[in-house]
């Protein structure tokens, strides 16, 4: 059996199994849910197989029998199993009984009606650079909330980051050559509509969904409107309506492929209007690269696109690290044109702001100015909760500037 590669979510799974009757582990196909769940389970059943699925539909109670925690993989293929698990947890009155995994939310959202206090919901993301072994770990993520003066050097080059973007954080591709991984991701994207979305209510037209995926890829890390996405998804003389685009986006989110970055919910002075559109991010930037048939070489020849995909790579990792401390990641934009790529807010209200740049002194200086401008946009009580101002780069160095802005290489970060 292959050696298990530890995931950042492992400690949270163990904690939730001690405090809840079961956990629901969600995430995109091929993100490693089954492997991770098996690492924590003592018995399992795979509902992707026809016979176990038939038994789960006919006699769900039988499916639940076995040493605990018991993994029920792809549970959504027999949605009635949810209520059976809930009732079994109530009967047993014990913690850590079940692990449910799934790569799609049932179309009728059966989990909306029950499970509170019994089943903890968790999302497994693609591997961060720390998990895949591509981070030096020189800078602790928690140090964004602490005094940090030491510097660090080394790590990937810009060319290496282009490879990492195309390869992605998929466990099955981590050890593959980059072009082989790209081939796998191309198949993944080509099969999204026919495989991942086929079980949803009113599944999308595969051709139009493919066109939308390409439009989203061209608008990665932006706030492109539904109208713009519809226009760029046009096939021949017809384009989908904005409402159809919204439906398709919701379906991509339902299978955990689209991971919109919401605007930071902060109350601003009445004279400054905050923009609330989300920024478009796939759960892993490799999906967008595959949709565009991008290679590391083609990305390096297009620095603007490379910069947007690098931003999406950084958002992927910041979200993974934020999950370890129960923090949330947002973006900020206001009517006066100030944009901050990421704001990470902890449950206690303290936050760290991050601009994300490939590098270059001029870009870093401008990013630092943007971060300091944020002081004049926020109410005093909100600014007083700022922990740090940061610039995440693809450069080889992490250090603190004289203006107290921290420059952090993405591949130096780790929890």
Helix (H) or strand (E) holding 50: helix 50-58
pLDDT > 60? residue 413: yes
Report pLDDT digits (tens) over 269-279: 545 556 688 99
pLDDT > 90? residue 91: yes
Average pLDDT value for residue range 91-119: 76
pLDDT > 90? residue 101: yes
| pLDDT band per the 50, 70, 90 thresholds, residue 84 | very high
Q: Are the beta carbons of 312 and 220 closer than 8 angstroms?
A: yes
pLDDT > 60? residue 173: yes
Helix 206-218 and helix 178-190, axial crossing angle in degrees, nearest 10: 130
Query: Is the whole model's pTM more than 0.85, yes or no?
Result: yes
Q: What per-residue confidence (pLDDT) applies to 148? A: 67
Q: What per-residue confidence (pLDDT) applies to 270? A: 43
Report pLDDT digits (tens) over 216-227: 999 999 999 999
Q: Are the beta carbons of 294 and 282 closer than 8 angstroms?
A: no
- The percent of residues in the chain predicted with pLDDT above 70, rounded, is 93
Rounded Cα–Cα distance for residues 102 and 87 (Å): 20
- Reduced to 3 states, what is the DSSP secondary structure of residue 332? strand
Q: What per-residue confidence (pLDDT) applies to 111? A: 54
Phi, psi of 17 (to 5 degrees): -65, -25
Report pLDDT digits (tens) over 23-70: 999 999 999 999 999 999 999 999 988 888 888 888 888 899 999 999
Report pLDDT digits (tens) over 274-326: 668 899 999 999 999 999 999 999 999 999 999 999 999 999 999 999 999 99
Phi, psi of 78 (to 5 degrees): -135, 75
Which of 251, 282, 284 minimizes the C-alpha distance to 172?
284
pLDDT > 50? residue 234: yes
């Amino acid at each position: 059996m292959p050696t298990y590669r530890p995931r950042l979510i492992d400690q949270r799974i163990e904690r939730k199994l001690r405090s809840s009757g079961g956990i629901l582990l969600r995430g995109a196909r091929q993100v490693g849910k089954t492997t991770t769940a098996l690492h924590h389970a003592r018995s399992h059943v795979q509902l992707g197989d026809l016979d176990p699925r038939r038994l789960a539909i006919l006699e769900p109670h039988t499916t639940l029998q076995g040493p605990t925690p018991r993994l029920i993989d792809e549970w959504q293929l027999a949605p009635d199993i949810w209520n059976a698990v809930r009732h079994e947890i109530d009967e047993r009155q014990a913690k850590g009984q079940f692990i449910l995994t799934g790569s799609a939310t049932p179309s009728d959202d059966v989990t909306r009606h029950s499970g509170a206090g019994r089943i903890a919901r968790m999302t497994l993301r693609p591997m961060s650079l720390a998990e895949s072994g591509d981070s030096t770990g020189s800078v602790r993520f928690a140090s964004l909330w602490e005094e940090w003066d030491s510097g660090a050097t080394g790590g990937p080059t810009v060319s290496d980051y282009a490879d990492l973007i195309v390869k992605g954080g998929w466990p099955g591709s981590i050890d593959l050559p980059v072009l082989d991984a790209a081939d796998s991701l191309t198949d993944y994207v080509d099969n999204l509509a026919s495989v991942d979305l086929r079980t949803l209510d009113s599944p999308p037209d595969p051709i139009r969904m493919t066109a939308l995926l390409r439009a989203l890829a061209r608008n990665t890390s932006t706030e492109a409107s539904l109208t713009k996405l519809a226009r760029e998804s046009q096939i021949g003389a017809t384009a989908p309506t904005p409402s159809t685009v919204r439906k398709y986006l919701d379906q991509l989110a339902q299978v955990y492929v689209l991971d919109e970055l919401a605007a930071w919910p902060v109350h601003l002075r009445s004279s400054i209007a905050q923009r609330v559109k989300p920024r478009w991010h796939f759960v892993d930037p490799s999906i967008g690269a595959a949709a565009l048939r991008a290679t590391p070489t083609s990305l390096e020849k297009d620095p603007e696109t490379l910069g947007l995909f690098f931003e999406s790579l950084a958002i992927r990792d910041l979200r993974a690290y934020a999950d370890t401390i129960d923090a949330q990641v947002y973006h900020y934009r206001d009517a006066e044109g100030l944009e901050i790529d990421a704001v990470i807010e902890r449950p206690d209200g303290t936050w760290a702001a991050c601009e994300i740049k490939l590098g270059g002194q001029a870009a870093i200086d401008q990013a630092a100015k943007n971060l300091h401008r944020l002081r004049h946009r926020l109410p005093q009580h909100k600014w007083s909760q700022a922990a740090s101002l940061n610039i995440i780069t693809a450069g080889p160095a992490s250090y603190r500037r004289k203006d107290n802005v921290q420059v952090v290489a993405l591949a130096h970060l780790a929890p």
